[in-house]
Amino acid sequence: MSRESRKARSEFYARPWQGKNRHYDIVKEGVIAFVVIGVLVIAFSALFSSPDDPALTFKGWATDAPDNLYAVSVQQLAGTSGTATYGPPYNSNSDGVSVGPIFLQKLGGVTHPIDTANDYVITPLSSQVEPNDVSAALKVWNAASADQQTTWATDYDTALQATADDQGDLHIDKVATGDYGPVPDLAKGVVAMAASGAYDNAMTGQGQFFQTDQTKQLLLMGDGSYMDDKATADNLQGNTWGMMNEAGSWPGQQWLGFTSVWYQLPIFNAPDDQTDGFTRTLTDNADVIIAAILVVLLFTFALTPWIPVLRDLPRWIPLHRLVWKQYYREHGRAS
Amino acid sequence: MSAETKVPTGADFEPSTWTGVVRKRWLKNLPPEKMLPESQPSYVASWIYVFGMATIVAMVIAIVTGVIITLGGVQWFHESSTGRFFNSTHYWSVQLFFLFMVVHLWGKYWMSAWRGKRALTWITGVLAFLTAVGVGFTGYVITTNFNAQWIAFEAKDVMNAIGVGSVFNVTNLGQMVTFHVAPLPLALGIIVVAHILLVRRHGVVPPLDAIDPALESATAASTDETEAVAS
Amino acid sequence: MNLDQPASYWQIWDWISVSIPNLIVIVVMLLLFVLALVLPFPKGSDAE
């Protein structure tokens, strides 16, 4: 098609329609749609209800996986947990993820500071009357220098991690003897406080009357394996199409397929024991790289009218002949 | 006896105020007969055309059920079976909303509906989809159950990775509730209204390769019946 | 019908896994699209 004829066609499509019209009642169509869809919604709701898996609690963690909560508490004191090493906006203990030299994660700065040792161990334990061994441990910890605290905590964290067996389970009773200061008692104190339910209360209120920000406690909940294991069991992990899935047997977010698919690619799933290589970099920075891919996809989607091949497919695969078959039958088609 | 001042109807008048300019612009582009027509071009004859309306209707039901939920509060659906029922209606209307929107999108793509200066209609549709995903996402993280915990925990990584996590904190329930209930649905509503007004203004796109009716009537007398393409 | 139980999954190849409920919705989307194209639409009366 020549440029002139393409332009002429475009102008024709833009002009108000001069041909035949048919009666069409938009308001009636809307009312019918409202009734039909309303009935469907009510029927599905009555038949299938909606998902509501109860939120996880620290009490649950202490009950179902106390050793894991213990180990995570040690990590919070040692500064080796996921939260402690996250970087902005929670702390500056890491530069965060990047695309090449671009570190968008650092952009906002540390706007939601989390000091894992104090926020997750010392402060909650100090907020209530503790058994003698825990209150003694708190005294020792608070009297020690920052360097001493770090040494105790990292030594114990290392020793504890060293007890891992083939399944990755830790054995608290098998930790090598050493100078760990009050760290074991503090970790024990957290587990006991969580088992009583008091830890949930402390983390929810965080010392305030009104508190509607769950950032601190949610980050803690995500450290360790308690929440992670439940997500895996429910098929909600990113690399098992978790972004599209929903709890139980309810439908999820099918429309997120084009975002979820990238997390399945092997290049974004380097095994944990792989410490270097290009796929390691891609995996560690998957979120920001995939975000960049999605921005490109979004622009492609929005600019479809101008993108060759993409804008021509409807002509090459003429499904439109089914849409307008009545019209073509009566009026023909321009070649 | 005072003389009656005749107020001009329609767009055929000279405005003397900003208000008048706005009215003239509006009536020229979107006169009442275009906003609420009793007819459509004869080529609007396919079931694919109902999916735009279906999407809007599902969205309206999602908004209505959402407003009902706001009356009960954030924890309502955990505590009462009525609350749970309305949570379900909200959930299912959103499922249907996305279902119909996808079919509507497929239809519009295969019809090349952006033709004839309708690119902005296409783009507002894309924006509506994007905004809807945002509304839906904030909805998920405020359900105060395990799903909300997990989704917020995962999504925070994406927000932080692109540098907006400090401003858009998905683990902050208070902030996510207000986002979900006010600015995001408002933005979606505005985009959808713009989308609909653009459709009304430009009219439904003619079929690909439709013969210009102006030329068609000129040659009608001499058109050979065998030239009509059998489908 | 109680949906509060783990979903089944349709697994093809190593890396594609779709939950059955999601699969049903996707199939319904495709079905509605196809039906919308092939089902005859009522003939309308001419208007001005």
Q: What average pLDDT score do residues C20-36 get? A: 97
A112: chain B residues, CB-CB within 8 Å: 166, 169
Helices A215-222 & B146-161 angle (0-180, nearest 10): 100
Listed by start position, the domains of chain C span 9-36
| Residue at A327 is within a domain | no
Neighbours of chain C (3+ CB pairs under 8 A): A, B
pLDDT in tens, A121-134: 999 999 999 999 99
**Most distant pair of Cα atoms in chain A: their distance:** 92
pLDDT in tens, B79-111: 999 999 999 999 999 999 999 999 999 999 999
Give me the pLDDT at residue C47, please.
Answer: 83
Q: What average pLDDT score do residues A98-104 get? A: 88
The mean pLDDT value of chain B amounts to 92
Distance from CA of C19 to the nearest CA of A (A): 7
Q: Which residue among C1, C16, C47 sits closest to A23, beta carbon to beta carbon?
A: C47
Listed by start position, the domains of chain B span 47-111, 115-204
Give me the pLDDT at residue B7, please.
Answer: 77
Parallel, antiparallel, or unpaired for β C46-47 and C9-12? unpaired
| Residue at A144 is within a domain | yes
Using beta carbons and an 8 Å cutoff, which residues of B are at the interface with C?
Answer: 38-39, 42, 45-48, 50-51, 95, 99, 102-103, 106-107
Q: Which residue among C32, C41, C43 sits closest to B103, beta carbon to beta carbon?
A: C32
Model ipTM value: 0.94
The mean pLDDT value of chain A amounts to 94
Q: What average pLDDT score do residues A115-142 get? A: 96
A53–B123 CB contact, under 8 Å: no
Higher local confidence (pLDDT), A81 or B1: A81
Give me the pLDDT at residue B226, please.
Answer: 47
Give me the pLDDT at residue B213, please.
Answer: 87
3-class DSSP state for residue C5?
coil
Q: Which amino acid is at A289?
A: I
Domain boundaries, position A209? 58-233
- Return the number of CB contacts < 8 Å for A and B: 305
Q: How many domains does chain A have?
A: 1
Nearest CA in chain B to C32: B103
For residue B228, pLDDT over 60 is answered with no
pLDDT in tens, B174-192: 999 999 999 999 999 999 9
For residue A3, pLDDT over 90 is answered with no
For residue A287, pLDDT over 90 is answered with yes
pLDDT in tens, A183-215: 999 999 999 999 999 999 999 998 899 999 999
- Residue A290 CA to residue A298 CA, distance in Å, equals 12
Using CB atoms within 10 Å of the CB of residue C39, give its burial: 0 to 12 exposed, 13 to 18 middle, 19+ buried. exposed
C35–B42 CB contact, under 8 Å: no
Handedness of CA A167, A170, A171, A176 (dihedral sign): positive
3-class DSSP state for residue B103?
helix
The mean pLDDT value of chain C amounts to 92
Give me the pLDDT at residue A113, please.
Answer: 95
- Residue B152 CA to residue A200 CA, distance in Å, equals 18
Give me the pLDDT at residue B230, please.
Answer: 45
Could you tell me how far CA B159 lies from the centroid of its own chain?
A: 26
For residue A86, pLDDT over 90 is answered with yes
Give me the pLDDT at residue B2, please.
Answer: 55
For residue B225, pLDDT over 90 is answered with no
Give me the pLDDT at residue B231, please.
Answer: 40
Let me know the angle formed at the C-alpha of B42 by B37 and B45, rounded to the nearest 5 degrees. 100
Instruction: Name the least confident of A200-204, A290-294, A318-322, B209-213.
Output: B209-213
Neighbours of chain A (3+ CB pairs under 8 A): B, C
Give me the pLDDT at residue B100, please.
Answer: 98
Distance from CA of C30 to the nearest CA of B (A): 8
Distance from CA of C23 to the nearest CA of A (A): 8
pTM strictly above 0.90: yes
Give me the pLDDT at residue B220, please.
Answer: 56
Residues 6+ apart with CB under 8 A from A264: A239, A241, C15, C16
Backbone phi and psi for residue A110, each to the nearest 5 degrees, phi listed first: -90, 85
A240–C24 CB contact, under 8 Å: no
Considering the four listed CATH numbers 3.30.360.10, 3.40.50.11810, 1.20.810.10, 1.10.10.10, the one that applies to the domain covering B115-204 is 1.20.810.10
